[in-house]
Chains A and B, each alone.
Chain A
Amino acid sequence: MDQFTLNLLVVGATFALYIGIAIWARAGSTAEFYAAGQGVPPVMNGMATGADWMSAASFISMAGLIAFGGYEASAYLMGWTGGYVLLALLLAPYLRKFGKFTVPEFIGDRFYSAGARLLAVICLIVISVTYVIGQMTGVGVTFARFLEVSTSTGLYIGAAIVFAYAVLGGMKGITYTQVAQYIVLIVAYTIPALFISLQLTGNILPQLGLIGSYAPSGGDVAFLAKLDAVVTELGFKAYTAESTNYFNMFLFTMSLMIGTAGLPHVIIRFFTVPKVSDARSSAGWALVFIALLYTVAPAVGSMARLNLTTTMWPNAVAGKALEGDAVSLADIASKPELSWVQTWEKTGLLVMKDLNGDGKIQYVNEPAPLAANTKALADATKAKDDAKIAELTAARDPILAEAQVGNSGKTFAEMGLKGNELVTVNNDIMVLANPEIADLPGWVVALVAAGALAAALSTAAGLLLAISSAISHDLIKSTINPNISEKGELLAARISMAFAIALATYLGLNPPGFAAQTVALAFGLAAATIFPALMMGIFSHRINKQGAIVGMLVGLVFTASYIFVYKGWFFIPGTNNLPDTPDQYVFGISPLSIGTVGAILNFIVAYVVSMMTAAPPKHVQDLVESIRVPKGAGKAQAH
Chain B
Amino acid sequence: MSDRSSKAYWAANVRIILISLAVWFLCSFGMGIILRPMLMGIHIGGADLGFWMAQNGSIYVFLVLIFVYAWRMNKIDKEFGVEE
Contact = CB atoms under 8 A, between A and B. Distances in A.
Interface in A207-233: 207-208, 210-213, 222-225
A249 interface: yes
Contact of B29 (A81, A208, A253, A280): A253
A82 B28 contact: yes
Interface in B33-54: 33-34, 36-37, 44-48, 51-52, 54
Interface in A69-114: 71, 74, 77-78, 81-82, 84-85, 88-90, 93
Contact of B56 (A89, A207, A250): A207
A630 B51 contact: no
Nearest to A288: B63
A207 B10 CA distance: 39
A81 B20 CA distance: 15
A632 B84 CA distance: 6
A182 interface: no
A494 interface: no
A329 interface: no
Given A77-B55, A78-B28, A85 B66 contact: yes
Given A78-B28, A211-B46, A295-B56, A71 B66 contact: no
B63 to A, nearest CB: 5
Contacts of B82: 629-631
A74 B31 CA distance: 12
B29 A291 contact: no
Nearest to A74: B54
A225 B1 CA distance: 59
Contacts of A632: 84
B28 A277 contact: no
Contacts of B10: 628
A211 B52 contact: yes
A324 B13 CA distance: 63
Q: Which of B28, B55, B70, B82 has the most CB of A within 10 A?
A: B55
Interface string A249-263: 110011000000000
A298 interface: yes
A506 to B, nearest CB: 37
Contacts of B46: 210-213, 222-225
A630 B83 contact: yes
A208 B55 CA distance: 12
A148 to B, nearest CB: 36
A592 B44 CA distance: 31
B18 to A, nearest CB: 10
B16 to A, nearest CB: 8
A284 B56 contact: no
A385 to B, nearest CB: 44
Given A277-B77, A280-B69, A284-B63, A82 B24 contact: yes
Nearest to A634: B84
Contacts of B83: 277, 630-631
6 contacts: A225-B46, A242-B36, A280-B74, A287-B59, A295-B59, A631-B83
Given A84-B62, A242-B36, A295-B56, 10 more contacts: A74-B32, A74-B33, A210-B45, A210-B56, A225-B46, A246-B34, A277-B74, A280-B70, A298-B55, A628-B9
Interface of A: 66, 71, 74, 77-78, 81-82, 84-85, 88-90, 93, 207-208, 210-213, 222-225, 240, 242-243, 246, 249-250, 253-254, 275-277, 280-281, 283-284, 287-288, 291, 294-295, 298, 625, 628-633
